[in-house]
Amino acid sequence: MPQVSVVIPTHNRADLLQRSIQSVLNQTYQDFEVIVVDDASTDCTPETVSQLCDRKLRYVRHEANRGCAVARNTGIEAARGEYIAFNDDDDEWTPHKLERQMGVIATVDAQVGVVYSDMWRVWRSNEKRREYYRAKHIMPEDGIVYERALGFGIGCYMQTAVFRRECFDKAGMFDPELVPLEDTELVMRVSRHYHFYHIGEPLVIQFMSAGSLSHNTEALARSMKRLLDRYRQELPTKAVAIYHANMAQQLAVSSWRKLAAARPAASGRDFLEAWWHVIVALRKDCLEAGRVLGKAAISPFRKGLRAIHHPGWHGLRRK
């Protein structure tokens, strides 16, 4: 049996998938299998996978599109390894990723459930533009960091992490109702039971594109609202402020995007809701809300102000 099972969910990304798979197959650590979960692609994904002709590679197909969270769950259920890792179908691993992480796992006790790393972010529209993403530095001596995780305090991306398989037995699988924050919520549940180990090196190259779920501001705001509702009784005041401040940012961005798309009424609604979240965040924890909102929020809110001067929004306001 392989020591590690690498799960790659995919949907209609045949042109990018081969590079993702190949970056895993090229690892210096070789005791693994790769499970490609095809979420009902209609392009040439099956042919792309079959052309690779590698015994480490397994192909599982959904007959209907069920989303990334379900595809990852399918991969976990099919996995034979003691450890589970993930890659996105458009991202790449550096050649020493598994070697570095499995080397750490060999030296720590079983209470460490997740080993994760930093990564490079590269913009697909301009690959010269790259940004170093530094995850929060959580180590085993920090113990159980559940309260910190509730406030988005880990920053563990799935493609950077290796999990003990038992994490999923104990904490459960990905929740498809929380896309695109299903990975964040999984980390929250895992952090109830296990320690984390951060490797301060970029072991993944994440390719950024405008069409990704992480850029869908409305979906992000909805998922944050669901998370807030689900964990409200456990959240410290500081974390509640973080949630409201993040929702304010996402709705502000959504507001000016809708205005640019000539949808002033929808833009105005988002803008007013964003300001409501700002007020709640400031009341909960003024310093933390200010830290989260920061300069990044200024531009979206300034653009959103255009909505309330637009004739279409004034018509909505009079109703």
Read off the pTM.
0.87
User: Which DSSP state fits 110?
Assistant: T
pLDDT at residue 272 is higher than 90: no
pLDDT at 211: 53
| The domain boundary residue, chosen from 166, 181, 208 | 208
pLDDT in tens, 85-132: 999 999 999 999 999 999 999 999 999 999 999 999 998 878 778 999
pLDDT in tens, 127-163: 778 999 999 999 999 999 999 999 888 999 999 999 9
pLDDT at 146: 95
> At 8, phi and psi to the nearest 5?
-125, 100
> At 292, phi and psi to the nearest 5?
-70, -45
Spatial distance between the Cα atoms of 191 and 193, rounded to a whole number of angstroms: 5
204 and 308: one domain?
A: no
Range in 175-179, 209-213, 296-300 with the lowest mean pLDDT:
296-300
> Is the alpha carbon torsion for 231, 237, 243, 244 positive or negative?
positive
H or E stretch covering 33: strand 32-39
Q: What's the mean pLDDT when you consider all of the chain?
A: 88
Spatial distance between the Cα atoms of 216 and 209, rounded to a whole number of angstroms: 11
Number of domains in the chain: 2
Confidence of residue 57 (pLDDT cuts 50, 70, 90): very high
Q: What whole-number percentage of the chain has pLDDT above 70?
A: 90
194 and 265: one domain?
A: no
263 and 151: one domain?
A: no
What residue type is assigned to position 263 of the chain? Answer: R
pLDDT at residue 311 is higher than 70: no
Which position has the token pair 């109830």? Answer: 192
Radius of gyration over alpha carbons of the chain, in Å?
Answer: 21
pLDDT at residue 319 is higher than 50: no
274 and 180: one domain?
A: no
pLDDT at 165: 98
CB count, 10 Å around CB of 206? 21
| The domain boundary residue, chosen from 161, 180, 208 | 208
pLDDT in tens, 198-209: 999 999 999 987
Which position has the token pair 């205005």? Answer: 259
19 and 161: one domain?
A: yes
pLDDT at residue 303 is higher than 70: no
144 and 26: one domain?
A: yes
pLDDT at residue 309 is higher than 60: no
pLDDT at residue 269 is higher than 80: yes
pLDDT in tens, 213-256: 456 777 888 888 899 999 999 988 888 988 888 888 888 887 77
pLDDT at residue 313 is higher than 70: no
CATH of the domain at 101: 3.90.550.10
pLDDT at residue 318 is higher than 80: no
111 and 145: one domain?
A: yes
Q: What whole-number percentage of the chain has pLDDT above 90?
A: 63
| The domain boundary residue, chosen from 160, 184, 208 | 208
Which tokens belong to 117? Answer: 């790393």
pLDDT at 221: 85
More reliable by pLDDT, 317 or 174: 174
Range in 77-86, 151-160, 289-298 with the lowest mean pLDDT:
289-298
pLDDT at 212: 54
The boundaries of the domain holding residue 94 are 4-208
79 and 63: one domain?
A: yes
Residue pair 161/85 in contact (Cβ under 8 Å)? The answer is yes
Q: CA of 7: how far to CAs of 11, 25, 71, 116, 248, in Å?
A: 13, 12, 9, 16, 34
278 and 314: one domain?
A: yes
Residue pair 158/86 in contact (Cβ under 8 Å)? The answer is yes
199 and 238: one domain?
A: no
Which tokens belong to 311? Answer: 């004739």
239 and 193: one domain?
A: no
**Of the candidates 285, 172, 273, which has an alpha carbon nearest to the alpha carbon of residue 235?**
285
296 and 200: one domain?
A: no
More reliable by pLDDT, 23 or 306: 23
Residue pair 204/92 in contact (Cβ under 8 Å)? The answer is yes
Confidence of residue 210 (pLDDT cuts 50, 70, 90): low
User: Which DSSP state fits 108?
Assistant: S
More reliable by pLDDT, 180 or 164: 164
